[in-house]
Structure 1
């Protein structure tokens, strides 16, 4: 619940602003965005109940499960390519769906029959809510406030789900009618090939129409522009040409939000979600630092795209670049963990989530942003009271994985650390940021490797330049917790054999001695 101090600050701000006007206040000054920021996507709420059986009880539960936890902000997504409410600016998901027809009806297009039941639930339940006069976004905004959670609306700036399909119901009329507006035409390679090209004024106007409608329609505390869904917005090679155009366009969005503040009588955060790395965000045409310097945004979410949680987000670089702007940074966790592109999807255990969160908080993240974490409120509810607290996380079991950057600048990729071939009698270094120096703990370094020999392996290891032992045949090695340093630890793994080996996974597990579990 919102504390008395927070409530007092909010009402005091409201009183002051009513006399000064919102133009006199900087949102970056009014209250710090912190705690856990939880993203509810545009479809999840409609997929829970059987087709045509959704009620507001489902919406209540989604919000109520977060109440009383460290979730301070509920980020309610209102669109993918289509809107999930009766929009006049965009086409609406479920247009053309007939609940009286089966799954062979034209609405489903060329979607695999095995995937149509979920889409049916989505379309039918959205139609039912709309027919009953219930806008689920507005309903959840009101419910969130009742439960002491700040409600935002999120707009996906370039969703590309079902990219390989020609007639998916996820495709909007705008997308279908204007293939010439896509980043690439012709056959689809990566899904981001079909992202809309924001170098086109028509695409920017299309997005602005929804932004204006959302700001007029919803009494929200914040508007998130999610540039990570999906992350490429310009044709390859045109990033430098249109970067300043997008910055100017963000200024226009800022003016729309300022007008909405006047309409609703309270401040509205304008927030952007971009790539985890400053150089990548800039390289793909999103100059988020300049947006902050010009006062266009009030907060920045930095996160991976989808393939894997990034355990090594350079939050401190963002903070340095944003110095003097008043704009804070929150780092985001993804639902997946993957050591390298095309590699195995690892279980995203509570320990892995804790490790990633602690690493980000220690580097300056003002809280933790959760994306696609639908199962957490029911399966891992305790995490909602842990993931934003360095003090709590330091006392918990946690795991740190070496992963990779899953948003890349076209033509200038950041190489993945894994898999790593180590030649005979050679070595390789892996960086693992752990946050604060650990309490007395059991610490284990683990690797997964491939070898062309069945002979016993010999992997001498150095930690921050000092020998600490060797990895045995199990791929594991205990480490004295006192050898670890605050921040980034560097593990040099040597190949002591006469043949090459391939390292495919590296992780560090820390289990405090007083962990109650």
Structure 2
């Protein structure tokens, strides 16, 4: 059984109550993740554009912040968003109570048999449309140097946040972030550093991603050199992880030569991940497995949401959906699983127990699970999200299939297919060419029911198989075409 990895982001810990800003609070936070074992490392995020500690490189979160007589938050003397008040106060409270809090956290993790890593967001651009760029999470360099931004000329009220990230081809940007790497690794003891490129890419100006591939490779080499220096200082190994796009082709398209990073021994863990927070079912993980050296740990990311179609219904994570994604990833070649946005503040029933067995492929596979069809969230310049469903199913007709990866250990499982649309459905359904039986009276799992209509079918024994399965719909209606499919999944009961 492999140990899993968990990312703990800035908002998770720092927006808790002030009583958590103590030694006991730090230990309690570690205990949440380690309660049932199975966790190899927690990656603690301590920055977005600003740092949640007294950084000498990034702007500390509290810089230029104050509170008026009524307790409202001010930034540079002007009112700003009060929702940041706790995020501004708590890091200062923790530093007052526990000046060496990172060392305390490191020791608390090791007492529980868990590694403590730093997680560095490499280009965070949360909340950067017009009229939000002066929130107290934006660093001084970003505020003052718009000439370093990758596509500031696109800046609009509804523009893509990613337009507003830094351009790593600019030497000042490169050096600024490498200095933060050095601060993390050499000033604060840890077991490793995660470079979280998904917060956010692209990191080059439009049209310059692939031609600047060598710049990111040089950055990874420089980071590895600093990690080796840190290992000598602290007297133990320092590993590196990279969070990269789910799809290998999109990593290449955004300037990430991950095969070179891995082939040169620069990185130890590769974490294919979604652009935002929507976990994906069909990520061609086998390509990563074939292309990476066996020594590199492949740990795909399970995030907190899922959505099947642009503008369609979304669903929050549950134990059953996490089981489904994990089973799919193990079948595709994953060595272990990485969890993002799985926090004490966003917990679901069974989350802590899940951490204990998620690294055990067989334990995951035998549990009840849901394999949800998901849309791909575009990342690279010039790529756009699309639907996983037929654009139209004509009257009294079928029109292609819906692809869903059901992972492994499907033999002998009792299973159902659920399909949803904005309008009522009158359909026959086949799985892998085998007709399925309508099951209107059987209970549905938790679903987003707003403006949605669902139908459920029982899968005949032997129709479901490991890996990719094809759902086909035959439109029985003589009056209406189907143009609004927005959900599909295969749901399996627990084994035995």
TM-score by length of 2: 0.89
Q: For 1:213-232, what per-residue CA distance to the aligned partner results, in whole angstroms no more than 9, with x for missing partners?
A: 11111221111100011122
Q: Separation in 2 of the partners of 1:56 and 1:100?
A: 30
Provide the aligned length of Structure 1 versus Structure 2: 472
Q: Tell me the equivalent position of 2:94.
A: 129
**Displacement after TM superposition at 1:320 (Å):** 0.7
Q: For 1:286-309, what per-residue CA distance to the aligned partner results, in whole angstroms no more than 9, with x for missing partners?
A: 121221122221221111122311
TM-score by length of 1: 0.86
Q: Tell me the equivalent position of 1:168.
A: 135
* Structure 1, gaps ≥5 residues long: 1-32
**Displacement after TM superposition at 1:133 (Å):** 4.7
Preserved contact between residue 377 and residue 384 of structure 1 (Cα < 8 Å): no
Q: Of 38, 41, 50, which residue of structure 1 is paired with 2:6? A: 38
**Displacement after TM superposition at 1:122 (Å):** 1.6
1:69-108 mapped onto 2 (5 Å cutoff): 69-98=37-66, 101=69, 102-106=71-75
Q: Tell me the equivalent position of 2:308.
A: 339
Q: Tell me the equivalent position of 1:204.
A: 174
Q: Tell me the equivalent position of 1:382.
A: 353
Q: For 1:111-162, what per-residue CA distance to the aligned partner results, in whole angstroms no more than 9, with x for missing partners?
A: 44xxx24x21121111122234524333222210111101111100010112
- Identify if the C-alpha distance between structure 1 residues 46 and 107 changes in structure 2 by more than 3 Å, giving closer, same or farther: farther
Q: Tell me the equivalent position of 1:5.
A: none
Stretch moving more, 377-386 or 145-154: 377-386
Q: Tell me the equivalent position of 2:28.
A: 61
**Displacement after TM superposition at 1:62 (Å):** 0.8
**Displacement after TM superposition at 1:56 (Å):** 2.4
Find out whether 1:355 has 2:320 as its counterpart. no
Q: Separation in 1 of the partners of 2:421 and 2:313?
A: 13
Q: For 1:22-66, what per-residue CA distance to the aligned partner results, in whole angstroms no more than 9, with x for missing partners?
A: xxxxxxxxxxx932211111232221114x873222211110122
Q: Secondary structure of the residue that 1:254 maps to in structure 2? A: helix
Q: For 1:165-213, what per-residue CA distance to the aligned partner results, in whole angstroms no more than 9, with x for missing partners?
A: 1211000001101111111114230111111111211111110010011
Where in structure 1 do 4 or more consecutive aligned residues deviate above 4 Å? 107-112, 376-379, 469-474
Q: Tell me the equivalent position of 2:464.
A: 484
Q: Separation in 2 of the partners of 1:378 and 1:474?
A: 24
Q: Tell me the equivalent position of 2:104.
A: 139
- Identify if the C-alpha distance between structure 1 residues 227 and 429 changes in structure 2 by more than 3 Å, giving closer, same or farther: same
Q: Tell me the equivalent position of 1:274.
A: 244
Q: Of 401, 404, 412, which residue of structure 2 is paired with 1:429? A: 401
**Displacement after TM superposition at 1:248 (Å):** 1.8
1:110-509 mapped onto 2 (5 Å cutoff): 111-112=80-81, 116-117=82-83, 119-164=84-129, 165-186=132-153, 187-188=155-156, 189-323=159-293, 326-375=295-344, 379-380=349-350, 381-413=352-384, 415-418=386-389, 420-424=391-395, 425-438=397-410, 440-451=412-423, 457-469=425-437, 475-498=455-478, 499-501=480-482, 502-509=484-491
The alignment yields a C-alpha RMSD, in angstroms, of 2.3
Q: Tell me the equivalent position of 2:447.
A: none
Q: For 1:426-477, what per-residue CA distance to the aligned partner results, in whole angstroms no more than 9, with x for missing partners?
A: 32311111111325433111111244xx7xx542333223444568795111
- Identify if the C-alpha distance between structure 1 residues 207 and 507 changes in structure 2 by more than 3 Å, giving closer, same or farther: same
**Displacement after TM superposition at 1:88 (Å):** 0.9
Q: Separation in 2 of the partners of 1:108 and 1:42?
A: 24
Q: Separation in 2 of the partners of 1:108 and 1:346?
A: 40
Q: For 1:60-108, what per-residue CA distance to the aligned partner results, in whole angstroms no more than 9, with x for missing partners?
A: 1110122242111111112111111111112111112335642152359
Q: Separation in 1 of the partners of 2:48 and 2:244?
A: 17
Preserved contact between residue 67 and residue 73 of structure 2 (Cα < 8 Å): no
Q: For 1:334-367, what per-residue CA distance to the aligned partner results, in whole angstroms no more than 9, with x for missing partners?
A: 1112222332221322111111111111211111
Q: Separation in 2 of the partners of 1:135 and 1:121?
A: 20
